[in-house]
Each structure stands twice: as C-alpha cells, then as structure tokens.
Chain A
C-alpha cells in the first residue's frame, strides 16, 4: 500500500515537473535559450491564484484563468523587453539576462507579497479518496494534477502536430534561418512559444502549491531547476521527452526519499540525471546531434 501511495504521489509530482519542463523545453527548442526565469513565472502564477482566491473570493476556475492570463502577458513582455534585443548575442549573454529576470521577478514578488510564506488555500471541495478499506488514501489534488498533465500533453501534442502555428514552431526549431526564408514570422512564433510556456507555468504554479501549500518568492526556483533537469533528462527540445523526464524524475524523487534517504532525495535525483546523460548524452528521447565538418 505504501508502495502504491508513493507511486501515485510520484506520478503527481512528476506531472508538475513535466508541465514546467514543457515550458523549458519548448523555449529551448525554438529560441535556443535556457529561460531561467521560467521557475519564477510559476511563482507569479501561484501568487495570482492565491490573491484571487483569498482576497477577491473568485471561483477556482476564474482564478486559474486569471493567473494564466497574467503569466501569458508577463511571459510575452519578458521576451519582448529582455530576450528579443539579444537574438544575435551569445548564449551566455542571454543566460545572464534570464538570470537577471529571475532576480527581478523574485524581488518584485518579495516587495509585493513579503517574505513570509503564505499558506495556499485548498480550492478543491472534494474529499480524499480512500481505497482498500482506507489503507490507501489519495488526495483530490493528486488526481487532478495527473489528469491535468494528461490533458495538457494531449492538447499540446495535437497543437504542435496539427495546427499551422504548431508547424511553424517545428520549422523554427529545426532551422530558424530557413524558416524565415519560407515566410514564417519567427518573432511571432517565439512570442507564441513564450505565451504557451508561461500559461502552462501558471497552471503548474497552481498545481504545485495545491500539493505543497507553502508560497514564497523563492517557491519557483527549486522546482524550476528540477523541471529543467527533467527536460534535459528526457532530451531537451522534445515534448514527449519532457513528459517522460518529468514523470520519471518525480518518481525517482519520491521513491528515493521513501526508500533510501529523505535528506539525500535531491542528490539521488541529480545523480540519476548524471548517469543517464553519461549513457545517453542527449537525454532519453533526444536526437543525437550529427557533427558537421
């Protein structure tokens, strides 16, 4: 029973990582940059849901939609202001700007909401599900997280493979120069990518804080790093890879904490990542890069 409950919790945590990892992986695939501010967009999303629910008493669905809207606008603004002027700059310059953005968001949140942790309200008026005579109890948050993950993955895969914008995104990620020559609006495509990534970040922030109800300005950074790890784990740039990497990472973390050592949970996660990368240097589902001479 303990095993089953760990399994469910692991998949649920992994689903959160997977949704965050999508934002990293899409932006990396299309803009070829590591968006370190992504973890902090999650935090902003969670704060918006918190405010909407706690202070304005809005219904849960409206709270989430509002957070998604705010995060989308935020993501596009960040991209336009900070990243777009650096399209031609070196990767490191963009990375440092992203880090600056991450500091900016964290400290703005610190000024607005203060350093004290906020207790995130439970928005689901559902009872805990008890199976096997109450030996296995599953919280509604857990199930909703897993369900949300499946819905998002399916919708995103369909969007990328079926729609015209999705096709444009795949083109830009394959070869930006050629895509531009074919008349694809690269800037618009990158903006759309940031918008989708940030909207997903808002959902992830809400789900994260529903399961782990402590909200601080630094809430997003560790899950951000882990989700980034998950994206690399599954092969960065690949959407199924982000899903697989996220879920596996969540499972490893929960099982590592349960069966090996609570204190070493993070170390185990990162150690597994290193071993995977040594065996498959481009991640689980990543395409091997051919070297051109």
Chain B
C-alpha cells in the first residue's frame, strides 16, 4: 500500500507536468514553432488520453475487461454533434465555447445513461463473458448508429431510422455519419477535459468508494463478506468511465469535419485497451503517457510507409514479451532499487 504522502506527491507531479506541458505547447502554438501534424493531433490526443484514463478505471481499478469502450465514445461523439448542430441552427447560439461545453456535457450524460443501462445486466457476468458482452454492445451501438438519421428544422430535431427523408439540415446521415460538422473543439478545452477526468478518476480511486472498488476486484468474496455491495461499486466505476468516454467522444467528434459511425468499432476499443495495458494496468499516469505516445508513434513511423502498421504490431508484441519476461523484470527491479513500494505493488496485481 502506498502511503498517503507518496500518493499526494504522485498526484501533484502528474498535474504539474500536465500543466507545464500545456503551457509549453500553447506557447509553441502561438509561436508557430510546432509541426502541423502534431498540432492537428493535439485534440485527438486529449480525447484518447481521457479514453485511456476512463478505461483504466474499468479494467485496472475495477478489474473488469471491457471491449466496447469505443461504443460509448461514439454515443458521446454523435450526441455532441447533434447538440452542437441543434444549438447553432435552431437557437442561433454562435458562441462556440458555450456550445462545446453543452455538447460535451450532453455527450457525457447520454453515454452515462447508456453505460448504466448496459451495466445493470452486464456486471452480473464475470471475466471473459463480460468482455464478450461489452464487445457485443459496442458492435450494436456502431450498427444502430449506422441507421440513424437526424436533421434539424427550425427548433425541432427530426429523427429517422433507416429513412433519410427528413426536413431541414441533416446532421447525421446514416452510414455516411456526421457531415459538415462545425469544428469547435479547441486544445484548451481538451486539456481541461483531461484535467477534469484525472481529478474525477484519481479522487474516486483514493476515496472510500475507490477502496471498495479495488477490494471487490482483489477478492470478490472477501469484499462481499465485509458488507461491500459489489454491484453498486462496479456500476459506479463503469458509469463514471462511460460518462468520461462520452465526453471524450464529444470532444473528438467536434474536432473532425466528418465522422463515420464505423470509426467507433471494435478496433478502436482494442486500441484504447492497448494504451491501458502498455501504460500499466491500474496506473493512471501511465495511461496518459502511453495514450499520447501511441497516438503520436504511428505518425512518426510514417517514414516506414507501408511497413508502418507492421512495425507497430511487432513493437507491440515485443513490448508485451519483454515486459513479461522474468529476466527483464528482475533487471528492471535491480536498476530501480526501490524495495517495499514496488514489491507490494507486484503482489497486489498478481
């Protein structure tokens, strides 16, 4: 167990580094000394970081394997796009910041409701069965979004299922996804969202509820016999993560001019899971680092041209093999000679 003091230091360092990075990047953007590709990636990086942090809450802290996290992101993205378009076309709300905030909030709320609806039946299942059901939900969400048409006519929203003949401006166009989205997301908003999700997740982990969630993960039966309501705490983690994923989705959706429903497929859920596992399961700062690095890495590997994704796959396998190799593990432990702290962490995870 980490002491209260060391936990506080980790948190302060994490927040400090993030704020420092944000300031440096903002200065660089203003100086125009940042490359175009990196600048374009800043908002997506923020959304993927939030996705990774929220999935880590489910996979790492709550110990449930979820393979449909991108579905919640999709719900948030399309809700955000609808809300933003509705406010702009129906209510002539020109202020992009206010629209963005409302869109992100709406994305979070709707994704949270979906998370609660899915969580109630799903969290009864265990292990791999839970994984497959979340996978199925992700696919259903993607498939249904493929069939939804939404248009705004005056102040009314028109909904169509498999039917695109709607009056007014079309916001969602079935399989074509969202078209002509006004990109109102900003890097500052993304940064605030990252900080917000960090504060939510870290405070949850270090609260009484967070300890209950981890107790349920480490030993279900023991936790249950201590009077912990397992379903309640698993739900708490799951719904919080869906809300954050929805918010990340709204941010992401409003940073792209067009967005296809197929974007939020199983592959994206897996990508986020890769961020979480490579960053360290249950390690929140690790998720931030790996989500950032792994979003930039494929772009940086562009010089490899067609071999880019191949190199990514090989790197992924090698990292997994090396990080689980007992020799390497021992070597790392010898280099970072920190007894106590590390070893108890190892045992906890085992």
Contact = CB atoms under 8 A, between A and B. Distances in A.
Interface in B240-291: 266, 270, 273-274, 277-278, 281
A92 B59 contact: yes
A92 B65 contact: yes
Given A103-B309, A291-B221, A96 B139 contact: no
B133 A273 contact: yes
B37 interface: no
B314 interface: yes
A89 interface: yes
Contact of A229 (B121, B136, B143, B325): B136
A293 B136 CA distance: 31
A231 B46 CA distance: 37
Given A103-B309, A270-B136, A82 B321 contact: yes
Contact of B147 (A85, A86, A264): A264
A95 B349 CA distance: 17
A99 B140 CA distance: 21
B137 A104 contact: no
For B59, B266, B313, the residue with the greatest tally of chain A CB atoms inside 10 Å of its CB is B313
A220 to B, nearest CB: 13
A92 B277 contact: yes
Contacts of A77: none
B196 interface: no
Contacts of A88: 324, 326
B34 interface: no
Contacts of B310: 104, 107-108, 111
Interface residues on A, range: 35 or more
Contact of A271 (B140, B221, B266): B140
Given A96-B273, A104-B310, A107-B313, A232 B132 contact: yes
Nearest to A92: B277
A236 B128 contact: yes
A108 B307 CA distance: 9
Contacts of A82: 317, 321
A277 interface: yes
B199 interface: no
A225 B267 CA distance: 11
Contact of A270 (B124, B128, B137): B137
B118 to A, nearest CB: 9
B221 A228 contact: no
A277 B125 CA distance: 8
A87 B9 CA distance: 36
Contacts of B121: 274, 278
Given A97-B321, A104-B317, A261 B137 contact: no
A86 B321 CA distance: 7
Contacts of B126: 281, 289
Nearest to A32: B128
Nearest to B308: A107
Interface string A80-110: 0010011011111101110111011011101
Q: Which 6 A-B pairs have the closest CB atoms?
A: A103-B313, A270-B136, A100-B316, A267-B143, A104-B313, A100-B317
Interface of B: 59, 65, 121-122, 124-126, 128-129, 131-133, 135-137, 139-140, 143-144, 146-147, 162, 221, 266, 270, 273-274, 277-278, 281, 306-307, 309-310, 312-314, 316-317, 320-321, 323-326, 349
Interface of A: 28, 34, 82, 85-86, 88-93, 95-97, 99-101, 103-104, 106-108, 110-111, 225, 228-229, 232, 236, 261, 263-264, 266-267, 270-271, 273-274, 277-278, 281-283, 289, 291, 293
